[in-house]
Amino acid sequence: MKLLRFGNKDNEKPGIEIEGKRFDCSEHFKDWNHNFFQNEGISKLKEIVATKTLHQIDNSIRLGSPIARPGMIMCIGLNYSDHAKEAGLEIPKEPILFMKATNTLSGPNDAVVIPPKSTKTDWEVELGIVINKDCYQLKNEAEGEQHIAGYTVVHDVSEREFQIERQGQWVKGKSCPGFSPVGPYLVLKEAINDVLNLNMTLSVNGKTMQNGNTKFMIFKPDYIVYYLSQFMQLEAGDLISTGTPPGVGLGFKPPIYLKRGDEVIIEIEGIGVQRQKFK
């Protein structure tokens, strides 16, 4: 079972996909939001799926982000050993943290607008973690794992001039409208055999640019949740983007950046595929 949200932008309804068929869950749940995750919503959903008949929807209906707007989008920088090598940087001793504005959230196939006057808009495929319970100061990684609802695909679109050349923190280069396509699904953690061995790819206009695997993560999902909880309260429905493998535009010599009309296709094995046109 995969969680999804469908319908017009900013008016999505909660749904699920089972064996390729999609179903409307809005009769039973308002949304896949903080209240849903915090109050054992996944267990209740499984019970409803087992006992109720849900209305099937057409697979052609637009998909939004599989989670409602979270309280926080937290990101981990330089979290792949091969990406750090590409960037010519040392392996971090602790996770590098930055945030994205939550209003950057968009659907997995929505068009992305390149910011006015931008010449350095870049791509990054990332594994996303969704939190299933409010937590603060967890004791260990095992508790971190217990607070993960599941995983999704995140496109951490980045404007490198804003991020690197305009002083301050990276958030300026990460928070333009539409810079966080998420989905198409939230895949529950028990449905993934090994989250630390998932292939990740990203292509631009049919050419593969990123071809990585989650096994090269420096800091693993369980540890990331535990670590973040030492400094802040994570809330149910929050999204954590866990870093990108090598092959970003900035890493080429000379760098390559996105332009109007480009099509980006992203896939993480067993989790889903995104497709965006840049305009």
> Could you give the angle at the alpha carbon of 62 between the alpha carbons of 59 and 68, nearest 5°?
115
Same structural domain, 96 and 229: yes
Enclosing domain of residue 49: 2-57
Same structural domain, 32 and 79: no
Q: Is 152 part of a structural domain of the chain?
A: yes
Q: What is the mean pLDDT of residues 219-248?
A: 98
Please, are residues 273 and 267 in contact by the beta-carbon 8 Å criterion?
Answer: yes
Q: Is 176 part of a structural domain of the chain?
A: yes
Neighbouring C-beta atoms of residue 152, cutoff 10 Å? 27
pLDDT digits (tens, 9 = 90+) for 193-214: 999 999 999 999 999 999 999 9
Q: What is the mean pLDDT of residues 37-60?
A: 97
> Could you give the angle at the alpha carbon of 251 between the alpha carbons of 123 and 174, nearest 5°?
40
Q: Is the pLDDT score of 86 beyond 80?
A: no
Same structural domain, 53 and 188: no
Same structural domain, 31 and 140: no
Tell me which residue has tokens 């989670």: 67
Strand ranges for the chain from DSSP E:
2-6, 13-18, 21-24, 55-57, 73-77, 96-100, 105-106, 121-122, 125-131, 148-155, 158-159, 180-181, 186-188, 199-204, 207-213, 239-241, 263-268, 272-277
C-alpha dist (Å) from residue 54 to 38, 49, 124: 23, 8, 36
Same structural domain, 159 and 254: yes
Q: What is the mean pLDDT of residues 124-148?
A: 98
C-alpha dist (Å) from residue 24 to 17, 40, 59, 141: 9, 19, 11, 35
pLDDT digits (tens, 9 = 90+) for 2-40: 999 999 999 999 999 999 999 999 999 999 999 999 999
pLDDT for position 21: 97
- State how far the Cα of 44 lies from the Cα of 29, in Å rounded to an integer: 10
Structure tokens at 47: 């019970």
Same structural domain, 47 and 82: no
Q: Is the pLDDT score of 82 beyond 90?
A: no
Average pLDDT score, the chain: 96
Q: Name the 3-class secondary structure at 73.
A: strand
Where does 19-171 have alpha helices with state H?
Answer: 34-38, 41-51, 81-87, 141-146, 160
Amino acid at 87: A
Q: Which of the listed residues 30, 57, 84 is the one where a domain comes to its end?
A: 57
Tell me which residue has tokens 């499984």: 46
Q: Is the pLDDT score of 87 beyond 80?
A: no
Instruction: Count the domains in the chain.
Output: 2
